Structure 1
Amino acid sequence: MGRRIRVGAMALALAAATISPAGAADSLLSQGKPVTASSSGGCCPAANAVDGDSATRWASAAGVDPQWIYVDLGAAAHVSRVRLQWDASCATAYEIDTSADHVTWTKIYATTTGKGGVEDLTSLDGTGRYVRVYGTKRCRTDASKGYSLQEFGVYGSTGDVTPPSPPGTPTLVSVTPASATIAWTAASDDAGVAGYDVYRDGQLCASTTGALQATCGNLSPNGTYGFYVNARDAAGNVSQASGTLSVKTPPSDDHTPPSVPGNVHTTSVSSTSIGLAWTASTDDVGVTGYRIYDSGTQLGTSDTAATTLGGLTPAKAYHLQVRAVDANGNLSDPSTPVLDVTTTGGSNCTPAQGVCGATQVATDDDVVWGLVSLPDGTILYNQRDAHDIVHLNPKTGAKKTIGTVPNVQSTDGEGGLTGLEVNPVSFASDHWLYLMHTSPNDNRIVRIKYDPAADSLTTSTEQVLLTGIARNKFHNGGRLRFSPDGRYLFAGTGDAQNGDNASNTSSPNGKVLRINPDGSIPADNPFHNAVWSYGHRNVQGLAFDSQGRLWEQEFGNSVMDETNLIVKGGNYGWPSCEGTSGSCTGFLAPKKTYPVAQGSCSGITIIHDALYVACQRGTRLYRAVIGGSSLTDFRTFFSGTYGRLRTVEPAPEGRMWLATSVDGDKDSTPHNSHNKILLVTVG
């Protein structure tokens, strides 16, 4: 295992040195191909734009916006570069679109700061037979001028760009307490299927080179798992996923419980927390954890022989016992005697405590994903699987569904209505809600106006800002975050279950993206597209600290999750490197890693330069203090108290919103979850 180079000039230089301009080896596909335009002046037909002669030009009708021109490449192609050579009548605002049928278009580039001359747009990522320049604002706005394009060069490859069909839904061949063998029917592909990847709840657990059966191990007895399969071809195209097979492993033949934990004692007591420690239990196979009870009701869990119970009630008596558990679910007898502990009085939450009380303000039966505070102290949040936005008054508990986001489609996994954000500078006046969601064809970012007077979503105002982010059953990312100055919108994406996407700077998948609020691409983005950083597996957490630096949280596969400090153009290593495991030399190192069993963390937030990380599989909240470019004083709260945790966001008065993700968060079925929204007091 190689060592990573730390963030700095050397790491950036190495990362930059490995990046060749996308499309440098691709062919010019557009020259001499059929061209269609919205209009043409008598001097200058559309065909002039693809004749290879910069002395000729296409000119649109004068004084009219928008205008467009598209070229028919003759076959589906992967588009990596578009070179525009403008005459004096250029476009300041335009987009580049691709299409399979010249009817439905997908935007792969947009700008509002076009300057004319030669604009060489590299690092594009689009697929289609037709490629269009769609101009919406001219450089010369007087009525006698139109658009004038001397050359319209489209570069790319016309090899195999078609992914295989989804494989058939798996069937169970056999199952043991520690493994499952599944089989499936073959996918089809125009050039031939090269292999299959088998996933267990979003984690790659087996691959084949063509066999239609595989075994996934490292399972636990009495566990329920969801298995599905993706097909891939020799060109690296990955199919959409098969249906999901739910498998429950049987119990093992281990029926011997662990020994009873001994010497349970306090290590700290405050008004809202109790620190506990005990003598570790033993087991013939192995202790997997501990459960902490208050008068017989489970209050928390722990991976080790110590924990801190948080979110407790001041001046309350607790009657605590600890039980050990093994992989087969065998529980030890409760520790004895009962430990009677009374929390101290008072309501102050000190920095030493870190996290204090949590008050439930609402429940919801859907997956609570994006969440934002409004100026009046109320909140809006997304229901991922129902595709609705809900307005909640946390003081009264009153809830109202303000609208359904159009064109959202779930994925029988983790896609659907995900990110929700407002511009911290302009929302009070413009009322735009920024949303990320899965559509029938992709993942995309849109914005829709919120009407405060009617307390409703005005869906007729929808603007599509960024499309073409590949979708799949899992690994869809989804988090949105504005920069503190409101100038840029950042988005976290997943690799769409194709690791090659993450390392390809032409692809928006496996990235942190950066766009302007209107969807155009900032001129200083490092690859002249929406990509800000790359080499990510599945980004679901973004937050800015007081220095304006962006922190990111992403899911690992089977080894470790990671928290990263994001730098412009940085490569964070996936798929070569997972956390600090694998071939990691030359990539930017994570600031913190977490074993996936204790992590699988989603949302993050930063309050008073303390980072809070909400974890799903780990069922806990991590807290760390940001010191320089490091994370210090790392602590764990709510371990096992509320189950799976997904979303954390700042709340008024320096507090924090926390949303759980219990049940139904891997199947896309609306209204089958059991979630809480909590208001947390932090130090």
Structure 2
Amino acid sequence: MAALAAVAAALTMTVAGAAPASAAPSTVVGVASGRCLDVIGNSTASGTGVNIYDCNGQANQSWNLTAAGELRVYGDTMCLDVVGQDTTAPAALQIHTCNNGANQRWRINSDGTVTGVQSGLCLDVTGEGTANSTLVGLWTCTGRNNQKWRTSAGSSDTQPPTVPGGPRVSNLTCDSVTFAWNASTDNVGVAFYDIYHDGQQMKTVSGTTLSTGLTVVAGATWGLYVNARDAAGNVSQASTTVTITPPQCQADTQAPSAPSQLTASASGTTVTLRWTASTDNVGVRAYDVYRGGAKVGAVNGTPPATTFIDSGLAGSTSYQYYVVARDGQANVSARSDTATATTGAACGNPVCTVTQVATDTDIPWGLVTLPDGTILYSRRDADDIIRLNPATGAKTTVGTVPNVAGTDGEGGLLGLEISPTFNSDRWVYVMHTSPTDNRIVRIKLENDRLDTATEQILVSGILRNKYHDGGRLRFGPDGKLYASTGDAQNGDHAQNTANLNGKILRINPDGSVPSDNPFGNQVWSYGHRNPQGLAFDSQGRLWEQEFGNSVMDETNLITRGGNYGWPACEGTSGACGTAGFIAPKRTYPTADGSCSGIAIVRDALYVACQRGTRMYRAVISGSSLTNVQTYFNGTYGRLRTVEPAPDGGLWLTTSNTGDKDSTPNNSDERILRVTLGG
């Protein structure tokens, strides 16, 4: 992602007698290191040098760019200063009493560099280092990442550009397309356009570019859209979506050969299938697995694996299977031979039986079990909350949440949680998108109805966008409410601890900020892209599930004040090895992941995945995830939410239709009950 700067033009002129007005303070974060520009030792003495150090929210990392072009620290008393007014590389830096000297004036440029007005040299992390305490000085500008910085210092511009209009495509081929749009407007000027498909960033172009070529995948249906971004880092709402399905690059009418040597073996109520790979003139892309003549799963990949685990079966029952192969143009092979397996009398497996308890025409998103064993779940695009009796399947609408608005993407009515003292106070906690922001509210559930007159807005001002809205809520064993927020399609938010986006938030039940939060606001951890799953283990530790961009998704163990690296780091790629970034406990290729919900039962972590159409199970051992197993691979399609059930099992919901729009009741989803074994 392109580094952001606060202003595109130099601020070098001072009006005689005018005070050097400044905007709100900001961190200045190195792109290569993810660490903050830092006054050594937190000293306020003139002559103290500067280095990079883990961002900690302290005053020695809080900088203002004034109208005079000064970078001031410790309020308005000290300025970033070139030692001896040196104008040749290398030049040392220090803080010094502000004196209006030319060696204390700076330009923050649109490419992320910071240059000295007097010298024209770039702010440079010495030796391209990324470790804590690496000195920062001036050096000849090279364009390398050790000279690029992310900051909103000096920007008084908080107005985002308008939505780009008229998105359209032309010249669609099997591997490319031209994507164009109408210009946005901005009070200062549009600096960049960011192009996405389905929440994944594809490309960034300049603010004067209104058309660009994109690389696409034959046969894959994508939704293209564009955001505008100004030099201060303000991002517009997304354009409308243009759906494309590129044609195949070559005609292929030849089906794969039939899978061979299919075997089926039962262990408890789980059956494992194995077969010998098919061949194809172009390439096998998937195997479809049939049980009793009905498709129950799929194995995808290039090439796909040749094993499948069928879980949650009835005991003492005989099952017959066959497998077919598919290529990239949906040519289907003949059937394999049939294989038969008989399950055991009792479940000796981690996952035992699956029962469908309800269906819905909208997307079940948040789900919580009430003390009496019934369920509340939110319908994302319909804006209402349903009470479900899982024993009978009876459903009751308890009310519509006020002021919910979709985003034609992932926003809407999202996470649900109930108060730890629900029986006495009746509070239901909701995270949702509004027309202007994302927010956390609470409403009382009285006599099986939401009493909207009791609504209290606990947190507002969390930026929204088409995608990356986060949304999960979870009370911790400390009695605090934790919430996951997305970066609103602007990765720079994730590293700004004064911003609520790209974070895990922690608040008291009444919405106030706990006194032991690390940054004096609602932020508990930062450097997240689009976190959704939250769950606590038996030790009271918080685990989190996060969507990556195009490389990998991740499961994290969250620590107070921790920096998880986005946007410099995605999973274990990019600058993820940099000290100060906390590494994930597990990563998943996005094709096998796109996981939204997690649950922990008896210290086993369950992960519900959408694009991967599967559920992972991993044993929590110390601070590691071990013995990872895959269940329901394609059996139920895209899995959205997984939550603990009162009997030691799981609730599991699907998200197969209408998932990328805000149209209510255009889905066909299931709510499942999963019985767990040993």
Q: Give TM-score scaled by structure 2 length.
A: 0.77
Alignment of 1:109-128 (within 5 A): none
Deviations 1:604-627 (A, max 9, x none): 000000000000001000000000
How does 1:31-70 map onto structure 2 within 5 Å? none
Q: Residue 572 of structure 2 aligns to which amino acid in structure 1? A: T
Counterparts of 2:417 and 2:470, CA distance in 1: 15
In structure 2, the CA distance between the partners of 1:20 and 1:400, relative to structure 1 (3 Å rule), is closer
Q: Which residue of 2 aligns with 1:540?
A: 532
CA distance in 1, matches of 2:460, 2:467: 18
Q: Counterpart of 2:472?
A: 479
Distance in 2 separating the partners of 1:529 and 1:550: 19
Indicate conservation of the 8 Å contact 1:449/1:459, yes or no.
yes
Contact 1:271/1:313 (<8 A) preserved: no
Structure 1 match to 2:516: 524
| Structure 1 partner of 2:172 | 175
- Return the alpha-carbon distance in structure 2 between the equivalents of residues 321 and 26 of structure 1: 67
The structure showing larger relative contact order (alpha-carbon pairs under 8 Å, at least 6 residues apart) is: 1
User: Match for 1:177: what amino acid?
Assistant: C
Deviation sequence 1:545-592 (CA, Å, 0-9, x none): 000000000000101000000001111111011101111112111011
Provide the residue aligned with 1:329 in structure 2. Answer: 330
Report if the CA contact (8 A) 1:269-1:344 is conserved: yes
Structure 2 equivalent of residue 308 of structure 1: 309
> Residue in 2 aligned with 1:294?
291
**Matching residue of 2:450:** 457
Aligned to 2:199: 202
From 222, 233, 236, the counterpart of 2:233: 236
- Partner in structure 2 of residue 468 of structure 1: 461
Measured in 1, the distance between the counterparts of 2:203 and 2:266 equals 47
Q: In structure 2, do the counterparts of structure 1 residues 527 and 20 end up closer, same or farther at CA, with 3 Å as the change threshold? A: closer
* Residue 285 in structure 1 maps to residue 282 in structure 2: yes
Deviation at 1:16, TM superposition (A): 6.5
Shift of 1:235: 1.6
* TM superposition shift of 1:322: 1.2
Given the alignment, which residue of 594, 597, 601 partners 2:595? 601
Residues of 2 paired with 1:283 and 1:160: CA distance? 57
Equivalent position to 1:510, from 502, 508, 511:
502
Name the SS for the 1:652 alignment partner: coil
Say which SS state the counterpart of residue 429 (structure 1) adopts: helix
CA contact (8 A) 2:174 2:216 kept: no
Distance, in Å, in 1 between the alignment partners of 2:612 and 2:475 is: 28
Equivalences for residues 252-401 of structure 1 within 5 A: 252=249, 253-266=251-264, 268-303=265-300, 304-335=305-336, 337-346=337-346, 349-350=347-348, 353-401=349-397
1:249 to 238, 246, 250: 246
Indicate how the Cα distance of structure 1 residues 206 and 285 shifts in structure 2: closer, same or farther if over 3 A, else same. Answer: farther
Residue pairs, 1:412-423, within 5 angstroms: 412-423=408-419
Following superposition, the deviation at residue 226 of structure 1 comes to 1.1
Which of residues 612, 636, 645 in structure 1 aligns to 2:639? 645
Paired AA for residue 680 in structure 1: V
Q: Distance in 2 between matches of 1:20 and 1:655?
A: 41
Q: For 2:154 and 2:513, how far apart are their aligned partners in 1?
A: 24
Q: In the aligned structure 2, how far is the partner of 1:515 from the partner of 1:26?
A: 28
Which segment is superposed worse, 181-190 or 398-407?
A: 181-190
Matched with 2:437 is: 442
Partners of 1:206 and 1:215 within 8 A in 2: no
Question: Is 1:276–1:307's contact at 8 Å kept on the other side of the alignment?
Answer: yes
Give the secondary-structure state (helix, strand or coil) at the position aligned to 2:63. Answer: coil
- The code of the aligned residue for 2:412 comes to G
Task: Give unmatched runs, 5+ long, in structure 2.
Answer: 1-30, 35-50, 68-75, 77-151
Alpha-carbon distance between aligned partners in 1 of 2:180 and 2:356, rounded to the nearest angstrom: 44
Tell me the SS of whatever aligns to 1:229: strand
Residue segments in structure 1 that go unaligned for 5+ positions in a row:
6-13, 30-51, 53-154
Shift of the alpha carbon at 1:156? 8.0
In structure 2, relative to structure 1, the CA distance for the partners of 1:283 and 1:577 (3 Å cut) is farther
Match of 1:24 among 51, 62, 76: 62
Give the structure 2 partner of residue 404 of structure 1: 400
Q: Report the TM-score when normalising by structure 1.
A: 0.76
Task: Measure the CA separation in 2 of the matches of 1:666 and 1:408.
Answer: 17
1:254 & 1:643 partners in 2: Cα distance? 27
Q: Say whether the 8 Å CA contact 2:616–2:628 is kept in structure 1.
A: yes
Residue 285 (structure 1) shift: 2.9
Contact 1:526 1:569 in 2 (8 A): yes
8 Å Cα contact 2:408-2:662 kept in structure 1: yes
Q: 2:189 aligns with which of 192, 215, 232?
A: 192
More deviation in 312-321 or 492-501? 312-321
Q: Match of 2:39?
A: none
Mapped contact 1:479–1:492 kept (Cα < 8 A): yes
C-alpha offsets along residues 470-491 of structure 1, whole Å, 9 cap, x if unaligned?
0000000000000024x20000
On the 8 A contact 1:317/1:340 being kept in 2, the answer is yes
For residues 392 and 676 of structure 1, what CA distance do their matches in structure 2 show?
13
Q: What is the rounded CA distance, in whole Å, between the counterparts of 2:214 and 2:201 in structure 1?
A: 9
Q: Deviations over 1:137-171 (max 9, x none)?
A: xxxxxxxxxxxxxxxxxx98553221110101411
Write the distance in 1 (CA, Å) between the matches of 2:310 and 2:227.
41
Query: Is the 8 Å Cα contact of residues 169 and 228 (structure 1) preserved in structure 2?
Result: no
Contact 1:3/1:580 (8 A) holds in 2: no
**Share of identical aligned residues, percent?**
59
Match of 1:500 in 2: 492
2:223 maps to a residue whose letter is G
Change (3 A) 1:284 1:581: farther
Q: CA deviation at 1:537?
A: 0.4
Q: Give 1:282 deviation, angstroms.
A: 2.8
Change over 3 Å in CA distance of 1:183–1:3 after alignment to 2: closer
What is the CA distance between 1:601 and its match in structure 2? 0.3
2-side partners of 1:512 and 1:371: how far apart? Answer: 19
1:389 and 1:658 map into 2 onto residues whose CA distance is: 17
Distance 2:384 2:638 in 1: 21
The one-letter amino acid of 1:579's match is G
CA distance in structure 1 between the aligned counterparts of 2:215 and 2:311, rounded to whole angstroms: 35
Partner residue in 2 for 1:77 = none
Q: Distance in 1 between matches of 2:598 and 2:218?
A: 29
Query: 1:154-204 CA distances to partner (integer Å, 9 max, x unpaired)?
Result: x98553221110101411212223343321111111111112111111111
| 8 Å contact from structure 2 (residues 32, 568) kept in 1 | no
Are the equivalent residues in 2 in contact too, given 1:207–1:214 (CA < 8 A)?
Answer: no
Give the paired residue count.
Answer: 539
- For 2:480 and 2:218, how far apart are their aligned partners in 1? 44
Q: 1:616-655 counterparts in 2 under 5 A?
A: 616-655=610-649
Q: Is the 8 A contact 1:650 1:656 kept in 2?
A: yes
Aligned mates of 1:185, 1:259 — CA distance in 2: 49
Q: 1:20 to 1:550 in 2, by over 3 A?
A: closer
1:428 aligns with: 423
Deviations, residues 76-106 of structure 1 (Å, cap 9, x unaligned)? xxxxxxxxxxxxxxxxxxxxxxxxxxxxxxx
Checking the alignment, whether the CA contact within 8 Å between 2:507 and 2:514 is kept in structure 1 is yes
